[in-house]
Structure 1
Amino acid sequence: MGRTSSSASRFERRGIDLVPDTERYGRPRDLMFLWAGTTMTVFTVVYGAFVVALGLSLGQAVLAIVVGNLLAYPLLGLASVQGPATGTTTLTISRASYGPKGARVLGVFAWLTLVGFEAGGLILVVFAALTLLERAGVAATPAVQIVAIVALAGVQLLLPLFGHAVMMKAQKYFSAVFAVAFAVMAALVVPQVDFGAASTAEGASLSMFTVAVALVMASGGLSWAPSGSNFSRYLPTTASRPAVAWYAALGGFVPYVLLQILGAVTASITLDASDPISGLPGVLPAWFVVPYLVLAMVSLLVQNSTNLYSSGLNLQTAGVPVSRIGMVVADTVLCAVITYVAVVGESFYDMLNAFLGLLVVWMAPWVAVYLTDWRLRRGRYAPAELADRPGDRGRARFGTPGLVAQALGMLVAALWLHSTTYVGPLSTWTGGADLSIPAGLLTASLTYWALARRAAFRSSDPRERATL
């Protein structure tokens, strides 16, 4: 699918095909800046406010945030380790366990997940832009809404089109700017908190605490795991595996914990903290509202660039024969349409809660199969296993162990899910607890291990290169 240009003035055309050794660059610590810049958004603050909205006290919310991220971000780190070894994307590597045809279904799931996050981010960006326009005296008429959606969708298109090299550089600078801006925001909000009153709040039950932990995991490290190797694949094959895992996990973990705690703290002084555009600015001084709205817009556009870059790659893994650039453009158009529907219908928060609650059903089993397969084969992959070519014969097109493990994991996760739109029977029987993630992880991992542990995994020949 073409060669990747090292020039910042040209669009990257490489899709899921293998990155040759001659085009590898960077260091594992670069991943820390990428994920820090990606996760430092007002969305992260909102997730912290959602935790308190579940009825948790401030102390419970902080504990749920720390525990949830400690469980989730190592998954992103471990899902980034395979990139340098294979030179391709995370969902393409999944073909080793699901088969080239079987992995197409997971590619569609992963694509839909990122489209959901992209649309959610763009919706908030548009809300922030319309708020700024109204402060400037421009009414949010239907025509203004459409122009804002089209213009902002076009802006978020740029970084993904330029590709990996430009995004890695840009995220390094954005992460520093965002860190300063959110530090100022914290300095303005925290002094307003009555920690004495917050510490005596009654709080929620243990079952609701598990729901909060699941929300934290789903909104953070677990949802980013399918994109892990998409960005580590350009690292040299000699890159340290522990360093890749550590820097990727740390880059997302630290901002998520700090900003989610900021969201929880803010929710303790205003019930509108879960509304980052019309609610949360109410606790900010008047002079900081406009900078805050600009920060919200820029940070979410940067986060969406990471989503857009990965979502097109996932759709290629799903077997759609379109170039990476074509995928990015198509995703942007789809996000613009979803954004228009949400802005007109004012149903954003219901959509977001339902989306977060349901995505763990497929994602927890997937990451379990992916990492169990990696452990069983000791990190060795054969490029032929990752290719999806119609002319290939003599090898399985569907990976039965992976597909069976995925199906069983999804079933168990759904039975133990507690979301705003659905509560599984096992959750009901356990007092409303949400154990969908650990149940899905454990079921899928043990099933795959039992079915695939005797497989003769082939080692990757460094001289063998497949066109994916």
Structure 2
Amino acid sequence: MSVHSTDQPVSSESPSEAGSSRFTIEQRGIDHVPASERHGSVRSVALMWSGAMMNVTGIVFGALLVLLGLNLWQAVAAILIGNATWIITGLCSLPGPAAGTTTFAASRAPFGRNGNRPIAFCNWIMQIGYESLDLVLMFLATSVLLGQAGIDLGTPLEVVVILGLAVTQSILPIFGLSVIMKAIRILLIPFTVLFAVLVVLVFDSVDVQTGTASGGTALFFAGVAVAASGSGLGWTPNAADYARYLPESTSRVRLVVGTAIGGALPQTLLMLLGAAVATAVPDAVDPISGLPSALPSWFLTPYLLVVLLQLTALNAINLYSSGMTLQAMGIRISRWQAVVVDAVVCAIVAIVVTFSGDFNTLLGNFLLFMIVWFAPWAAIMVVDYFLRSGRYDIASLSDDGGRYRRVLGFNPAGVTAQVAGMIAALLCINTTVFTGPISKAFDGADLSVPAGLVVGALTYWALARTSTRNESTVTERLSA
């Protein structure tokens, strides 16, 4: 079978090589990366995650836990538990070098080509959500900067600023992964320095007694779910996208450990800092607007300028992955065109969120509801990878036909496990919009993360353990 490409022509350079001396637009979409172009390393992937996580959203998610009602020590525990899910992100990276393609192209194996489409659509919605939230933070930072200069934006100008930021954030992902990684590396050092200064500045203002009455067990479990969704677990749908340029012989253990440490270490530290900052500005309606009252003006301006640059680089990762997710859904669109589509939708959503006036509640509900689909999906992907021993029929992943098209395009085992996991997560979720009956039975405890993971994994293992192992054996014989 021929390997279908949705994005031609394809550059002969991998992101580790492309643009080493010049900026070039990456042409590759979800098509298979041949062995001759896979020169990446675990170290480069780990550094990419470290650079990407060294951004203000870590502070935002950490602050959110305190602003939702957890005391400082509950927030610390929730952050540590939530960031342990970076191990799952590492495991979801494994199909990248094994299949040489993106996350949601590899996802066709356990779900079937048509069964994968609604899952990919859920991921596209989630990526749009993250992009929109980051765009809102960029707007808030811009508003504070302009406010420091005495400029008060009216509604028309606020819309113009959001649209301008949406265009700006689209530049890096249009160029592709090589340019994104360059930008992240450039911003890593100044942002690390600024965060270190921020620690010193807020240290004396931290109130360890804030909320010492405890948010209660139910709120703590919700905090763990929010922390997991905003950290490692929330990045699982992107994982293989950035590991696909690694050689197939890459050590599984090194990739999992490198991804987990690379992402978890900076994000844990920044979320802890965010929780501490929130105790200094407990009445802030969002994580940016309250900063002027907590930070000196000499530091606030350079800090927010770098925040803008860093969020632009971070959103480039989301836009890069969400564009390829559109391709995995079967939409005939080039990668750069998909970035443009995403930017337009992202701008519209960001405008709605900005004028809703309830950033923290919207963010919390978004992070919790996204768990419903990606917790079981991540578990299924990991179980499927190990059942098939990392052996994928490459042509079937890329072509309209092939083994992974399944009966009517659906793999009953994967689809059933996904539905079962989503139902389990919904039964155990607790948000301001909806609380599941199991959560109510446990006094409001949000158990959606373990419920989705466990039910999704066990259901898929029970239904697919024989067929997927047999399938991997046939694939090994065909490739031999």
TM range (shorter): over 0.9
CA distance in 2, matches of 1:251, 1:376: 27
1:247 aligns to 2:261 (yes or no): no
Deviation at 1:279, TM superposition (A): 0.8
Partner residue, 1:30:
44
Partner residue, 2:345:
334
Deviation at 1:461, TM superposition (A): 6.2
CA distance in 1, matches of 2:141, 2:405: 55
Partner residue, 2:65:
51
1:113 aligns to 2:133 (yes or no): no
1:176 aligns to 2:214 (yes or no): no
1:406 aligns to 2:415 (yes or no): no
Deviation at 1:348, TM superposition (A): 3.2
What is the CA deviation profile of residues 376-430 of structure 1, one whole-angstrom value per residue up to 9, with x for unaligned ones? 1111111134134158898432111000000011001000001122111100001
Partner residue, 1:425:
437
SS in structure 2 opposite 1:233? Answer: coil
Go from structure 1 to structure 2 and tell me whether the alpha carbon gap of 1:267 and 1:139 turns closer, same or farther (over 3 Å shift).
closer
| Equivalent residues of 2:112, 2:411 under 8 A apart | yes
Partner residue, 1:78:
91
| Equivalent residues of 1:266, 1:273 under 8 A apart | no
**Bigger mean CA offset, 379-388 vs 229-238:** 379-388
| Equivalent residues of 1:37, 1:178 under 8 A apart | no
The share of aligned pairs that are identical, in percent, is 41
What is the CA deviation profile of residues 166-199 of structure 1, one whole-angstrom value per residue up to 9, with x for unaligned ones? 222322232222211111111111122244x45x
What is the CA deviation profile of residues 345-389 of structure 1, one whole-angstrom value per residue up to 9, with x for unaligned ones? 434333222211210000111001110101111111111341341
**Bigger mean CA offset, 394-403 vs 309-318:** 394-403
TM-score (structure 2 length as normaliser): 0.91
CA distance in 1, matches of 2:58, 2:196: 14
Q: Which one of 162, 166, 174 corresponds to residue 161 of structure 1? A: 174
Matched positions, count:
461
CA distance in 2, matches of 1:188, 1:462: 62
Deviation at 1:463, TM superposition (A): 9.4
Q: Which one of 449, 455, 458 corresponds to residue 437 of structure 1? A: 449
SS in structure 1 opposite 2:204? Answer: helix
Q: CA RMSD in A?
A: 2.1
| Equivalent residues of 2:439, 2:445 under 8 A apart | yes
| Equivalent residues of 2:389, 2:472 under 8 A apart | no
Q: Which one of 301, 305, 309 corresponds to residue 290 of structure 1? A: 301
Go from structure 1 to structure 2 and tell me whether the alpha carbon gap of 1:121 and 1:393 turns closer, same or farther (over 3 Å shift).
closer
Q: What stretches of structure 2 of length at least 5 have no aligned partner?
A: 1-6
Partner residue, 2:139:
126
SS in structure 2 opposite 1:409? Answer: helix
Q: Which one of 216, 225, 236 corresponds to residue 227 of structure 2? A: 216
1:260 aligns to 2:274 (yes or no): no
What letter is aligned with 1:86?
A
What letter is aligned with 2:73?
G
1:42 aligns to 2:86 (yes or no): no
**Bigger mean CA offset, 266-275 vs 374-383:** 266-275
Partner residue, 2:332:
321
Go from structure 1 to structure 2 and tell me whether the alpha carbon gap of 1:282 and 1:93 turns closer, same or farther (over 3 Å shift).
same
1:63 aligns to 2:77 (yes or no): yes
Deviation at 1:80, TM superposition (A): 0.9
Deviation at 1:77, TM superposition (A): 0.8
**Bigger mean CA offset, 370-379 vs 344-353:** 344-353
Q: What stretches of structure 1 of length at least 5 have no aligned partner?
A: none
What is the CA deviation profile of residues 253-278 of structure 1, one whole-angstrom value per residue up to 9, with x for unaligned ones? 01111111111112222213562221
SS in structure 2 opposite 1:210? Answer: helix
Partner residue, 1:351:
362
Alignment of 1:186-197 (within 5 A): 186-195=199-208, 197=209
Deviation at 1:147, TM superposition (A): 2.9
Partner residue, 2:103:
90
Go from structure 1 to structure 2 and tell me whether the alpha carbon gap of 1:161 and 1:393 turns closer, same or farther (over 3 Å shift).
closer
What letter is aligned with 1:423?
T
1:150 aligns to 2:163 (yes or no): yes
Partner residue, 2:27:
13
Go from structure 1 to structure 2 and tell me whether the alpha carbon gap of 1:268 and 1:343 turns closer, same or farther (over 3 Å shift).
closer
Go from structure 1 to structure 2 and tell me whether the alpha carbon gap of 1:377 and 1:445 turns closer, same or farther (over 3 Å shift).
same
CA distance in 2, matches of 1:404, 1:304: 33
1:389 aligns to 2:400 (yes or no): yes
| Equivalent residues of 1:46, 1:276 under 8 A apart | yes
Go from structure 1 to structure 2 and tell me whether the alpha carbon gap of 1:156 and 1:393 turns closer, same or farther (over 3 Å shift).
closer
CA distance in 1, matches of 2:357, 2:346: 16
What letter is aligned with 2:173?
P
Go from structure 1 to structure 2 and tell me whether the alpha carbon gap of 1:264 and 1:104 turns closer, same or farther (over 3 Å shift).
same
CA distance in 2, matches of 1:90, 1:9: 25
Partner residue, 1:308:
319
Deviation at 1:286, TM superposition (A): 2.2
Deviation at 1:280, TM superposition (A): 2.9
Partner residue, 1:361:
372
SS in structure 1 opposite 2:180? Answer: helix
CA distance in 2, matches of 1:310, 1:270: 34
Go from structure 1 to structure 2 and tell me whether the alpha carbon gap of 1:294 and 1:276 turns closer, same or farther (over 3 Å shift).
farther
